[in-house]
Amino acid sequence: MNAGPLFELALRMGDNALILGQRVSAWCGHAPVLEEDIAMANVGLDLIGQAKLWLTLAGEVEGAGRDADALAFLRDSRDFRNVLLVEQPNGDYGRTLMRQFLFDAWHLPILKGLRQSGEARVADIAGKCAKEAAYHLDRSSDLVIRLGDGTAESRARMQAALDFLFPFVAEMTAADAIDDEIAAAGLGPRLADITREFSDTVAAVSAAATLALPSAPARTVAGPWRGKAGRHTEEFGRLLAEMQWMQRAYPGVSW
Amino acid sequence: MTNEWPLWEVFIRGQHGQSHRHVGSLHAPDAEMAIKNARDVYTRRNEGVSIWVVKAADIVASAPGDKEALFEPSNAKVYRHPTFYDIPDEVGRM
């Protein structure tokens, strides 16, 4: 499945938002406090709204008659282009917040880059999403700092979350052939250009949170295990099963 | 629960020119998070342009038992109520 760099770009952005939105929405009704429950559900809804914009664009570009719903609910694991970070299970609330922070710290700079896209539809969507992403990053970095620099218990949980999740960052900052194609076509930024802002944010927030950044390359999840190339982790199948079962069981159902 | 976060009262200004209105309350560990939580809990439908939060414990309230002494005397002075004027619609909210 390669319908050109614009299609791939829209799928990558849309799938990241869709899958993280799906993960985050599982907290609805279960978050530790009421205020967090609502805030987290808001983030999930923002992301699913963004996914709809990107996947609608992907469907238009592909020109095969697939809309955002068809792309979200009727593709199989190998056809999803989200990075591995966003599909990682929620774990405890600390891990959920750390995953959110690492994603937001990457999401905002890439959206800012995409606002300069030579493709007007991309720039337009990125402009809308960047405002939400800025708030998401504000919130998640604040909570990571509070919990990292909190009690011994909360600090241990945040450090464990960072240690677990950090290896998945590798594929987000290392460009593959399609990332290069996207940049060469003027559709989006080079990943190398946004990596500095991402790394600076992660370093600053970890330091303020009194957390130690793991040495990334030692346990890097690069190579064949790249979500953006369609190779996902085991848990992803279960996520898709839950997300897609209704459209699979009752094709075309709507309400 | 003994370590529950303090309660904050939330006030939102709906539009420029209006005053802040009390919309509800929430729990938060400090003022900064109270503002963030208020944004998520009370402005999800684009309700406001400004948020105030104040610790519920810092609000000094009149005692319900003092109601008569405080409010009854003015009720009897009908000439203080500007109810004899017709206010044109164009004036809007006063």
Structural domain span for residue A151? 5-249
Count of the separate structural domains present in chain A: 1
| Residue given tokens 């076509």 in the structure block | A185
Q: A with B: how many residue pairs have Cβ under 8 Å apart?
A: 27
Q: What gap in Å lies between CA A179 and CA A185, rounded to an integer?
A: 10
Q: Is residue B29 part of a domain?
A: yes
Amino acid at B33: M
Does residue A21 sit within a domain?
Answer: yes
**Which tokens sit at A68?**
């955002």
What's the mean pLDDT in B60-83?
Answer: 82
pLDDT at B70: 84
Cβ within 8 Å, pair B40-A34: no
Which site among A24, A27, A28, A35 would you substitute to test the B interface, given the most B Cβ atoms closer than 10 Å to its Cβ? A35
Reading the block at residue A163, the tokens are: 């240690």
Percent of chain A with pLDDT over 70: 95
- Name every residue whose Cβ is closer than 8 Å to that of residue A216 and which is 6 or more positions away in sequence: A166, A167, A169, A170
Q: Which of A147-151, A217-221, B59-63 has the lowest mean pLDDT?
A: A217-221
Chain B residues with beta carbon closer than 8 angstroms to that of A49: none
Closest CB to B41: pick one of A35, A138, A146. A35
Q: For B25, phi and psi rounded to 5 degrees?
A: -140, 165
| B37 vs A contacts (CB less than 8 Å) | 35, 38-39
B54 by DSSP, 3-state: which?
A: strand
Contact: A35, B32; criterion CB under 8 Å: no
Residue A161 lies in a domain: yes
Domain assignment present for B45: yes
Helix, strand or coil, per DSSP, at residue A30: coil
Amino acid at A153: E
Given A35, A138, A146, which is nearest B37 (Cβ)?
Answer: A35
Tokens 């539809």: give the residue.
A121
What integer pLDDT is reported at residue B44 of this predicted model? 81
DSSP-derived letter for residue A11 is H
User: Out of A39, A138, A146, whose CB is closest to B37?
Assistant: A39
**Three-state SS annotation for A235-252:** HHHHHHHHHHHHHHHCCC
Q: How far is A96 from chain B (nearest CA, A)?
A: 18
Q: Does A39 touch chain B (CB under 8 A)?
A: yes
Interface test with A, best of B36, B42, B43 (most A CBs within 10 A): B36
Statement: residue A225 has pLDDT above 80: no
Instruction: Tell me, yes or no, whether A31 lies in a domain.
Output: yes
Could you report the predicted ipTM of this complex, rounded to two decimals? 0.73
Burial tier of B89 (Cβ tally within 10 Å: 0-12, 13-18, 19+) = exposed
- Which chain B residue has the Cα nearest residue A42? B40
Predicted confidence band of residue A220 (pLDDT cuts 50, 70, 90):
low
Decide if A142 touches B, using CB distance below 8 A: yes
What residues in B contact A42, CB-CB < 8 Å?
40, 44
- The count of structural domains within chain B is 1
Residues near B40 by Cβ (< 8 Å), separated by ≥ 6?
Answer: A35, A38, A39, A42
pLDDT of A167 over the 50 cut: yes
Per-residue pLDDT, A1: 46
Count of C-beta atoms within a 10 Å radius of residue A4: 14
Q: Which of B28, B32, B44 sits opposite A35 (nearest CB)?
A: B28
Burial per residue of A206-234, b for 16 or more beta-carbon CB atoms within 10 angstroms, e otherwise: beebebeebeeeeebbeeebbbbebbbbe
Structure tokens at A100: 């959110």
Among B28, B32, B44, beta carbon nearest to A42: B44
CA distances from A191 to A33, A180, B90 (A): 37, 8, 56
Summarize pLDDT for A79-114 with one digit per residue, the tens: 999 999 999 999 999 999 999 999 999 999 999 999
Instruction: For chain B, give the number of residues.
Output: 94
Q: Is residue B77 part of a domain?
A: no
CB A207 within 8 A of CB A143: no
Residue whose C-alpha is closest to residue B22's, from B33, B9, B7: B9
- Contact list in B for residue A33 (CB cut-off 8 A) is 5, 27
CATH of the domain at A221: 1.20.1260.10
> Which pLDDT value is given to residue B65?
87
Residue A26 DSSP class: T
Provide the token pair at A209: 């949170």
Decide if B33 is inside a domain.
yes
For residue A254, is it within any domain?
no
Q: Band of the pLDDT at A221, cuts 50, 70, 90?
A: low
pLDDT at A218: 46
B1-39 pLDDT, tens digit each:
457 899 999 999 988 888 999 999 999 999 999 999 999
- What Cα–Cα distance (Å) separates residue B31 from each residue in A81, A244, B9, B22, B61? 40, 41, 11, 16, 21
Q: What is the DSSP string of B22-42?
A: EEEEEE-SSHHHHHHHHHHHH
User: How far away is chain B from the Cα of A39, in angstroms, using its nearest Cα?
Assistant: 5
Question: Does pLDDT of B78 surpass 80?
Answer: no
Number of residues that make up chain A: 255
Tens of pLDDT, residue by residue over A230-252, are: 999 999 999 999 999 999 999 88
Name the closest residue on chain A to residue B40, using Cα atoms. A39
Domain that holds residue B39: 7-61
Structural domain includes residue A255: no
For A139-163, write each residue's pLDDT tens digit.
999 999 999 999 999 999 999 999 9
As a whole number, the mean pLDDT across chain B is 87
Q: Does A31 touch chain B (CB under 8 A)?
A: no
CB spacing of B36 vs A142 below 8 angstroms: yes
**Between B75 and A166, residue with greater pLDDT:** A166
With CA atoms as reference, the chain B residue closest to A43 would be: B40
CA atoms of A60 and A54, how far apart (whole Å): 10
Q: How is residue A180 written in tokens?
A: 């290069």
- The CATH number of the domain where B37 resides is what? 3.10.20.520
